[in-house]
Structure 1
Amino acid sequence: MKSTRSYPRPESRRTGNGFIITSVLLSLCLLSLIKAQYGQQPLLLILAAGKSRESFELEKAMEALKMLTAKGGDLASRGNEDDEANRVLLDKVSEEKSAKPLCVETSRRSDVCDVEGDVRVKGSSQTIFASPSQATREWKMKPYARKHDQGALAHIKQWTIKPFPDPQGLPTCSDNYTVPAVVFSIGGYTGNLFHDFTDVLVPLFVTTYHFHGEVQFIIPDSKPWWLSKFSQILKQLSKYEVIDADNDQGAVRCFPRVIAGLNFHKELGIDPSKAPNGYSIMDFKEMLRTAYGLERPTAESSGDPWDMRKKPRLLIISRKSSRVFLNERGMSDMAMSLGFDIRIADPDITTDLGKFARLVNSADVMIGVHGAGLTNIVFLPAGAVFIQVVPMGNLEWLARDTFEKPSPDMQLKYLDYRIQTDESTLADQYPKDHPVFTDPQSIQKKGWDELSRVYLENQNVKPHLGRLRLTLLEALNFLPHTRKMTQ
């Protein structure tokens, strides 16, 4: 974002000629110091350090003024007028430096702009008007938590936060609100369950849950089917009907506060030290339990596991197009022999989310091949076991970052099962000495599209039942309501 802001100088006052001359010399010295020491600093280095051009200039002005003070001795010795002038200058710079920034980077993934006072939103033009005391220059941003992902941002409209125009051009309010508004996009990669949660729903919870429903959502890039699918969650976070910014027909909506963008902490996770009221991902899960009427907060003891009605339940996440379990029936039979009650389900995009959430919540163990469907771990009860089957291709980093790391914070026991060459259909597609097997890193270096094509889109799996049996026995041993089994 380019800055067009210029900083005000101290207010002028009547002075004697000596003070004017001193002030001019002081200003020239200050500018000379800044130019000499920092004028050649490339802007790219400034931005790489995470500073705006404005904050950089303010810091250097402060440093230069302090250096000038040190070199010139005690400013007070030059007379009261000089001392007062310098004090005003220093206070002005300090005030600008300490002022609350309008837009901040909440993580490498997200920018959030927070405007208070008389704030006017014209959704049809993606514009937020703020009083000059809040915005002294324009800010441009895209309210989606993948700000460096050009693939995602290509589908996100840009919003502008700008100062009020002159009184004649000030947009008149068509609707007035007493609650704050939050502007966020559901463009990007939404439609993929993992991105629905990690890019939008978890950050939305972090940003808005502390308002206790007293917040108005304004959504550009709207998808009616998405709003319908997640309506129960949205109703937990806001008491008001969503405003479709793209179809607002020139309305100007006036709010006491507007937040544009969502606070992102980490994949499928929340950092309580950064969240309002110390909220955690367990609070998010509790909200989901309320939204969908989930009965099991924990995987508690249910009695004798050999009682058919009280056996530990294993949910197998099925897939139909890629990363398919080719021996699903054999897996099911083997798990039944261990005493599991088996359920098999495919959470495709048409699935009723509430119904599927209740199925997942009934499970004690959930197993599935890496993919968006595993995002359903958010509905598992605390103490449940989650088994991620990792396709071959040195994808442990991907499995770790997306689902393994979030699991402990959700109070889930995590296990993985790593597919070997003879358990993968890649063995039927490539010779044994192909880089797909011998040098997976060379495939990954070609970029995400090639990695996905080879290892995710064109690989099915057939786990060895004997080896998988050991993993399921380990899962049983972790359950709080089942006896250890060694057979």
Structure 2
Amino acid sequence: MKSFRSIARQEPRKLGHLLLILSLFLSLSILSLFKSHCCSSPYGKSQALMKVQAPAKVDNEIEDALLIEDEDEDDQEDKNRDAAKVMKITEETKPTCFETSRRSDTCEAEGDVRVQANTNTIFFHPCTSHQQWRIKPYTRKGDNTALTHVKEWTLKPAMDVQDLPPCTKNFTVPAMLFSIHGFTGNFFHDFTDVLIPLFINSYQFHGEVQFLASDFRSWWVSKFSLILKQLSKYDVVNIDGEGDAVLCYRRLIAGPSFHKELGIDSMRTPNGYSVLDFKELLRKSFGLKRDTVVITRKPKLLFMTRKKSREILNEEEIVQMAMSLGFDVTTGEPRWRTPVSEFAQLVNSADVMVGVHGAGLTNMVFLPEDAVVIQVIPLGGLERVARDCFKEPTMDMKIKYLDYVILENESTLIDQYPKDHPVLKNPTSVKKQGWNALKTVYLDKQNMRLDLQRFRNTLLEALNLLPHNTK
């Protein structure tokens, strides 16, 4: 009897606990549903137009977030958020604008889509609401410096077909709208802000897509024409020059998607494409012969020359030393007027590429797999941004990475400042003065003379990283 009473007393408790758990679960579900409708961006915002947003001033040279070395946790949270975000675009939610990363928004319209060039407006039908969106189709969201001269476009719903402007040109392929302004003209930004994001959104169409270029720059289109022709079978449309024309499509994507510096998150691309697919496209674009390093005689080393700033003053001695270690050495300076195809061929022939931190290192996209990149990092506490820009991408590209961090006695800054000056002893104090101060001191006014013995060890390490199979 005692045992029976004990069990009888426990049964109501268990039932009560179960009801409590169920009520908590139901409450959380309702709260989550409420947040998904009222708090997510941009769907839950009450304003009629979506505004671009985001922090982080960026300079034309390449240094993203250089002044914020104490924000590792915030950066990681952003990356985790970007990686975890799964965009589910259904017929009920189209057309819409959504955040594809902390650096980019993308808008998609499908149905009857009409681009009115002279008003920078994209009309669409059918639609489920009167809400309008605005977007600047360049992947530096919220960066006022980059977006100053980037045109803003409006996506405007039409509840009735009669509200649409009449078509003057009709197309059967989808359209991709992007801007050729911001920081274009800097080789790093050409790739990380425009070309790779274009690949992310357009490669799924296998060339059956038409590019609409806002803020058109003919020299830029000409410079990268071989890459653009691999992505689209059609001429790039200068949408700014279309005047009163109304271009009509069945589908349009406005604003390329950014994932990471010189990189692609294959989990977030339409068909699982990766940066290796982008590199394969580059090989096709420029007829590059090598996809993987194979040493036939001496390993080839390309020494990237710089002039005016961040110049290696004892370059000739380093070249001689590298040759004594068994390298076949070539020097090259990537200049603006040098055809991309010409320098791409030179880089693709190399097994090891050496260069000082700067936009020229972007040429590593043309290296074959198993090649080695050596980044020389100037004095000034630049390690973090240098590695974010050029070390992190190498892992997905399947190329090896080494860096050589300049010491105080290797920098010409010791000839310009007293030994106890903050420029030499406390670079953080210079960073606090702002980007312009840091850039002027550590990037524009600094050259270097490498320690031969110390750099010799780096070259030997590069030799050990190369595949040793010979044919």
TM-score, normalization by structure 1: 0.78
Quote the offset at 1:136 in angstroms.
2.5
- Counterpart residue type for residue 211 of structure 1: F
Deviation string 1:382-409 (CA, Å, 9 cap, x unpaired) is: 0000000000101011111100110111
SS in 2 for 1:145: coil
Is contact 2:124–2:158 with CA below 8 Å preserved after alignment?
A: yes
Residue 54 (structure 1) aligned with residue 44 (structure 2): yes
Closer, same or farther: CA 301–342 of 1 in aligned 2, 3 Å: closer
- Counterpart residue type for residue 282 of structure 1: L
Is contact 1:387–1:415 with CA below 8 Å preserved after alignment?
A: yes
Residue 237 (structure 1) aligned with residue 254 (structure 2): no
Select 2:403's aligned residue among 400, 416, 428.
416
Quote the offset at 1:187 in angstroms.
0.3
SS in 2 for 1:276: coil
SS in 1 for 2:261: coil
- Counterpart residue type for residue 186 of structure 2: N
Deviates further, 183-192 or 163-172: 163-172
Quote the offset at 1:54 in angstroms.
3.0
Select 1:332's aligned residue among 305, 319, 322.
319
Q: Distance in 2 between matches of 1:167 and 1:270?
A: 38
- Name the counterpart of 1:148: 142
Select 2:117's aligned residue among 118, 123, 127.
123
Q: Distance in 1 between matches of 2:306 and 2:402?
A: 20
- Name the counterpart of 1:30: none
Q: Distance in 1 between matches of 2:434 and 2:95?
A: 36
- Name the counterpart of 1:391: 378
Is contact 1:55–1:97 with CA below 8 Å preserved after alignment?
A: no
- Name the counterpart of 1:258: 252
SS in 1 for 2:185: coil
Residue 447 (structure 1) aligned with residue 434 (structure 2): yes
- Name the counterpart of 2:16: none
Quote the offset at 1:52 in angstroms.
3.5
Where do residues 35-114 of structure 1 align in structure 2 (5 Å cutoff)? 51-52=41-42, 54=44, 99-100=93-94, 102-114=96-108
- Counterpart residue type for residue 152 of structure 2: Q
Residue 457 (structure 1) aligned with residue 444 (structure 2): yes
What percent of counterpart residues are identical? Answer: 56
Quote the offset at 1:125 in angstroms.
1.9
Q: Distance in 2 between matches of 1:411 and 1:217?
A: 30
Unaligned 5+ runs, structure 1: 1-36, 38-45, 58-95, 303-309
Q: Distance in 2 between matches of 1:135 and 1:439?
A: 56
Select 1:173's aligned residue among 156, 159, 167.
167
Quote the offset at 1:164 in angstroms.
2.5
- Name the counterpart of 1:378: 365
Quote the offset at 1:320 in angstroms.
1.2
Deviates further, 235-244 or 431-440: 431-440
Quote the offset at 1:301 in angstroms.
3.3
Is contact 1:116–1:134 with CA below 8 Å preserved after alignment?
A: no
Is contact 1:179–1:216 with CA below 8 Å preserved after alignment?
A: yes
Q: Distance in 1 between matches of 2:467 and 2:247?
A: 52
Quote the offset at 1:244 in angstroms.
0.2
Quote the offset at 1:100 in angstroms.
4.8
Q: Distance in 2 between matches of 1:452 and 1:124?
A: 39
Where do residues 427-446 of structure 1 align in structure 2 (5 Å cutoff)? 427-446=414-433
- Name the counterpart of 1:470: 457
Residue 404 (structure 1) aligned with residue 385 (structure 2): no
Q: Distance in 1 between matches of 2:157 and 2:254?
A: 15
Quote the offset at 1:101 in angstroms.
6.2
Select 2:243's aligned residue among 236, 249, 252.
249
- Name the counterpart of 1:296: 290
SS in 2 for 1:373: helix
Select 1:359's aligned residue among 334, 343, 346.
346
- Name the counterpart of 2:8: none
Q: Distance in 2 between matches of 1:135 and 1:113?
A: 15
- Counterpart residue type for residue 175 of structure 1: K
Q: Distance in 2 between matches of 1:102 and 1:117?
A: 13
Is contact 1:476–1:482 with CA below 8 Å preserved after alignment?
A: no
Quote the offset at 1:50 in angstroms.
5.0
Q: Distance in 2 between matches of 1:135 and 1:180?
A: 23
Say which one has the larger Rg.
Answer: 1
Closer, same or farther: CA 135–129 of 1 in aligned 2, 3 Å: farther
Quote the offset at 1:132 in angstroms.
4.5
Quote the offset at 1:437 in angstroms.
1.4
Residue 215 (structure 1) aligned with residue 209 (structure 2): yes
- Counterpart residue type for residue 226 of structure 2: Q
Q: Distance in 2 between matches of 1:112 and 1:53?
A: 13
Q: Distance in 2 between matches of 1:414 and 1:159?
A: 40
Unaligned 5+ runs, structure 2: 1-30, 32-36, 48-89
Residue 202 (structure 1) aligned with residue 192 (structure 2): no
Is contact 2:114–2:164 with CA below 8 Å preserved after alignment?
A: no
Deviates further, 366-375 or 155-164: 155-164
Is contact 2:130–2:159 with CA below 8 Å preserved after alignment?
A: no
Q: Distance in 1 between matches of 2:360 and 2:462?
A: 20
Q: Distance in 2 between matches of 1:163 and 1:134?
A: 8
- Counterpart residue type for residue 133 of structure 2: W
Quote the offset at 1:210 in angstroms.
1.0
Is contact 1:212–1:238 with CA below 8 Å preserved after alignment?
A: yes
Closer, same or farther: CA 373–470 of 1 in aligned 2, 3 Å: same
Closer, same or farther: CA 135–197 of 1 in aligned 2, 3 Å: farther
SS in 2 for 1:277: coil
- Counterpart residue type for residue 183 of structure 2: Y
Quote the offset at 1:168 in angstroms.
5.8
